[in-house]
């Protein structure tokens, strides 16, 4: 079975130093986050199993996908092949397989037996809300018009025995599905899945058209069907049979609650907001389930999303610019794209399309094909030497961005966006050439000849 437990054992076998079992008592307030932060400051990003979290009987598993090496292990490829393997397999979908029973329903709690208080009450940052959060929560919903399902990650603030807040960003698929239910005056049935294999996580983060079934993408990544079982309260929704924990219920169409503050992937919290309410009708889980956690703003939060974001951005850029060469994502909300442009207006067209197509695209920098987009020194040099700000810096006011951007003026995520054309002009009247040397001469030089003598 492809589940979280088999992956943990695979890591123990193949990358033993990547698993750390913490047996001593650990506070759920700040300490798990502090341990991960301290390790990352020293260049380490292991998976951690906290066996003794105060206030809970569950083992907390965090940083499961906190290194590209572990994502490569999950995909069965090298680190350098993660992006290409994700992209190629995601384009060969495999539908899930419905099975009669799954370990995720070994224990079923309904109604008054539902108690989110049994979950580890994790709080991450000094300025976060006092209430605990679910961060590794994959939300499953079905579009009431198309019948298509959607999987996506959403933070959830625990606000009682059987309710949480749920943050859904405008412009993303789950929010669109929710609005359809709300327009009908109906609550949105959902299942929240916690504790899964990394390929399930990667598939849930796939970003394509609204009619793409993420379960099919997961099957493509696994190269085999994912086993799923019907929910106990809503058999129209199916959840991974091997999941550790599932919460079933509805997101109410009319109720709202204060949610946050919460420190996000940007490294900043953006204050309290109003969110819809998730009401839990049932909890199903494995015997002695593992509670998976993602510490916001740390390595796992960033690494886990990279294959999906890169695939989406690369596909989009290649469809817009025929001369697309490569791209890099060097910072949050920032993309650098290298193209072999056909005309001087092509970078502006690419910038405008990219910024308006994605709420997470805030800054787009376009460079020439001979500039490596991941080399920030080369990118900065291109900006300095090729850009005329009055003609090649493009600002777009009041576009849909993300409210997780700390510079956004309001909770609706409306934002100014900017593109920089750092490409050389094809129509320049000046004679400008780039410094070059004979390639055969460069190839003939052996740098070992010039080692300093000791």
Model pLDDT for residues 157-189, shown as the tens digit of each residue: 999 999 999 999 888 899 999 999 999 999 999
As a whole number of angstroms, the distance between CA 392 and CA 262 comes to 37
Strands of 200-323, DSSP E:
227-230, 238-240, 245-259, 273-285, 290-293
Q: Is the pLDDT of residue 453 over 70?
A: no
**In this predicted structure, what is the pLDDT of residue 296?**
84
**In this predicted structure, what is the pLDDT of residue 429?**
75
Q: Which residues contact 28 (CB under 8 A, 6 or more apart)?
A: 53, 54, 55, 56, 60, 120, 121, 122, 123, 132
As a whole number of angstroms, the distance between CA 441 and CA 438 comes to 5
As a whole number of angstroms, the distance between CA 181 and CA 429 comes to 59
**In this predicted structure, what is the pLDDT of residue 358?**
87
As a whole number of angstroms, the distance between CA 171 and CA 404 comes to 13
Give the model's confidence band at 10: pLDDT under 50 very low, under 70 low, under 90 confident, else very high.
very high
Q: Where along the chain do its domains lie?
A: 4-301, 321-422
Q: What Rg value do the Cα atoms of the chain yield, rounded? A: 24
Share of the chain above pLDDT 70, in %: 99
Give the model's confidence band at 1: pLDDT under 50 very low, under 70 low, under 90 confident, else very high.
low
**In this predicted structure, what is the pLDDT of residue 411?**
82
As a whole number of angstroms, the distance between CA 291 and CA 53 comes to 11
Q: Is the pLDDT of residue 433 over 80?
A: no
pTM for the whole structure: 0.86
Q: Is the pLDDT of residue 297 over 80?
A: no
Which helix (DSSP H) or strand (DSSP E) does residue 397 occupy?
strand 393-400
Overall CATH class of domain 4-301: mainly beta
**In this predicted structure, what is the pLDDT of residue 320?**
92
CATH number of 321-422: 3.40.1670.10
Average pLDDT, the chain: 93
Q: Is the pLDDT of residue 315 over 80?
A: yes
How large is the average pLDDT for residues 250-272?
Answer: 90
């Amino acid at each position: 079975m492809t589940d979280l437990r088999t992956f943990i054992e695979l890591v123990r076998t193949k990358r033993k130093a990547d698993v750390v079992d913490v047996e001593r008592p650990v506070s759920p307030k700040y300490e798990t986050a502090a341990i991960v932060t301290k390790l990352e400051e020293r260049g380490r990003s292991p998976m951690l199993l906290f066996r003794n979290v105060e206030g809970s009987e569950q083992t907390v598993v965090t940083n499961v996908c906190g290194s590209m090496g572990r994502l490569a292990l999950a995909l069965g490829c090298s680190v350098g092949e993660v992006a290409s393997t994700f992209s190629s397999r995601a384009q060969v979908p495999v539908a899930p397989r419905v099975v009669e029973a799954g370990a995720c329903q070994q224990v079923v709690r309904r109604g008054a037996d539902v108690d989110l208080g049994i979950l580890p009450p994790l709080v991450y940052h000094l300025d976060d809300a006092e209430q605990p959060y679910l961060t590794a929560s994959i939300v499953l919903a079905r579009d009431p018009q198309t019948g298509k399902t959607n999987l996506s990650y959403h933070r959830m603030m625990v606000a009682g025995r059987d309710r949480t807040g749920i943050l859904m960003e405008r412009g993303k698929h789950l929010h669109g599905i929710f609005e359809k239910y709300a327009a009908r005056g109906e609550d949105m049935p959902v299942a929240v899945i916690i504790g899964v294999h990394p390929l399930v996580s990667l598939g849930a983060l796939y970003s394509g058209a609204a009619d793409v079934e993420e379960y099919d993408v997961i099957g493509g990544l696994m190269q085999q069907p994912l086993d799923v079982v019907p929910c106990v309260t809503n058999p129209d929704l199916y959840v991974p049979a091997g999941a550790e924990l599932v919460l079933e219920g509805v997101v109410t169409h009319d109720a709202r609650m204060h949610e946050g503050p919460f420190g996000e992937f940007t490294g900043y919290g953006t204050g309290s907001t109003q969110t819809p309410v998730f009401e839990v009708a049932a909890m199903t889980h494995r015997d002695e389930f593992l509670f998976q956690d993602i510490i916001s703003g740390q390595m796992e939060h960033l690494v886990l999303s990279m294959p999906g974001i890169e695939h989406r951005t690369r596909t989009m850029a290649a469809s817009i610019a025929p001369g697309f060469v490569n791209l890099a994502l060097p910072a949050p909300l920032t993309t650098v794209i290298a193209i072999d442009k056909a005309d001087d207006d092509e970078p502006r067209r690419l910038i405008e399309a990219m910024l308006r197509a994605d709420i997470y695209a805030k800054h787009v920098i376009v460079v020439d094909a001979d500039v490596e987009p991941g080399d920030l020194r080369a990118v900065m040099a291109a900006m300095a030497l090729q850009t005329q700000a009055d003609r090649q810096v493009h600002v777009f006011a009041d576009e849909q961005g993300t409210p997780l951007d700390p510079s956004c003026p309001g909770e609706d995520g409306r934002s100014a966006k900017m593109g920089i054309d750092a490409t050389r002009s094809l129509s320049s009247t000046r004679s400008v050439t780039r410094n070059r040397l004979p390639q055969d001469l460069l190839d003939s030089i052996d740098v070992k000849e010039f080692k300093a003598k000791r």
